[in-house]
Structure 1
Amino acid sequence: MAYLFIADDPDGVGLTMEPEEGDNLLLVQPGGRLPAFSRGLPQRTGPSLWRRGERWTDRVPVELRVRATEHVDEDCYSWAGGRPRGWQSDFVEMLDERWRFFFQIDGAEGVGGDAYALNFGGGTGYAFLSSDEREGRFFWDCV
């Protein structure tokens, strides 16, 4: 099981694009390692995945059930396993051969048919696991 934590950065001043700057954390449990760059607040609960409500600034919490199916949609930018498909050809160079692709998830505005809101600048988020599957990295990329 992997838990993904992404900093809420509505002003775009954070380092959520970087896999080891501490604004994102892909935490593997049970038995995972906490990366040295991780930081957080000692809170029992915190923000959750959300989508927009009636007003653009409304945040309505959501929970999603994910079902694995065969990947057939070439326009889809969310899937697990296989090979990542990036917006820029050099994005995978952010991590070396010790890391293997885990999943990618498309960004969304959280309106209309969007199930959630994740601001990746119109791009996609990428998750990787260490070769021993005890540590994760997450970053995003856009055009």
Structure 2
Amino acid sequence: MITDDDPAYVMFFKDAAGPVDEFVTRFDGDPDWVGEAQWPLCARRDHPMAFVGQFRLPGDELHMAYLFMCGGCEETWEPEAGKNALIVQPGRVPSFITTMVPSWEPSPGGGVLVDLEPACPGDLDVFKSRMYGSPAWLRDEEYPPGGPWSFLFQLDACSEWCPLDLGEGGVGYGFISGDGQEGRFLWQCI
């Protein structure tokens, strides 16, 4: 179980030079599913959301969280509007998300790998992209409804690597439910 007392880790990004080991924290490419694929559909357009990245959860057992977002939709900042999804495996799909098993073959390749380095004093003032610890809210504190929620990650849309449109100066926040079975994602901008 993740807690806000866990030490924070700064994310550093690098392009993969080739194929990547499965089940690592990374962006782009296709998900490495722990179980059967659960690709979420956009609630507005009923088409597959774009895969953003995957996050390995701490612990001895293999658990992953997969981030998806609908392109060109409004309200992607809302954690329960069905325009983004943070799918946990093994876990359960939130009731407001519809998923499908993709008919296409996953594309091999690397994407952008994430190196996690323990945060030193002052790092979190400079590096907004991080895992664990506690969120640094761009605006007011805004946890998803229905908690308790544990903070998983924070993504800075101003980073060169970031594939997300999170508005002007946006920061995205990922959370895992208290029972570790569901995820939520929301974002804030200036």
Q: What band does the TM-score fall into relative to the shorter chain?
A: 0.7 to 0.9
Number of the residue aligned with 1:17: 77
User: How far apart are the structure 1 equivalents of 2:146 and 2:98?
Assistant: 23
Mapped partners of 2:104, 2:162: distance in 1 = 19
The answer as to whether partners of 1:102 and 1:128 remain within 8 angstroms in 2 is yes
Contact 1:91 1:141 in 2 (8 A): no
2:82 counterpart SS class? coil
What is the aligned residue count?
A: 121
The residue type equivalent to 1:137 in the other structure is R
1:40 positional shift: 5.0
Judging changes above 3 Å, is the alpha-carbon distance between structure 1 residues 6 and 90 closer, same or farther for their aligned structure 2 residues?
A: same
2:153 alignment counterpart: 103
Matched, 1:82 2:133: yes
Structure 2 counterparts to residues 1-143 of structure 1, below 5 A: 1-9=64-72, 13-29=73-89, 31-39=90-98, 43-45=102-104, 63-72=111-120, 73=123, 74-92=125-143, 94-108=144-158, 114-121=160-167, 122-143=169-190
Please tell me whether the aligned partners of residues 106 and 124 of structure 1 are also in contact (alpha carbons under 8 angstroms).
yes
Instruction: Give the TM-score taking structure 2 as reference length.
Output: 0.57
The secondary structure found in structure 1 opposite 2:173 is strand
Deviation sequence 1:9-28 (CA, Å, 0-9, x none): 2xxx4210100010111011
What is the CA–CA distance in structure 1 between the aligned matches of 2:68 and 2:116, rounded to whole Å? 21
Q: Which runs of 5 or more structure 1 residues have no equivalent in the other structure?
A: 49-60
Pairwise CA RMSD:
2.4
TM-score w.r.t. length of structure 1: 0.74
Q: For residues 76 and 96 of structure 1, what CA distance do their matches in structure 2 show?
A: 29
- Structure 2 gap ranges (5+): 1-63
Kindly provide the CA deviation profile for residues 61-100 of structure 1, in whole angstroms up to 9, marking residues without a partner as x. Answer: 97111111012322211101111011112323x4354111
Cα contact 2:147–2:177 (8 A) shared by 1: no
One-letter code aligned to 1:120: L
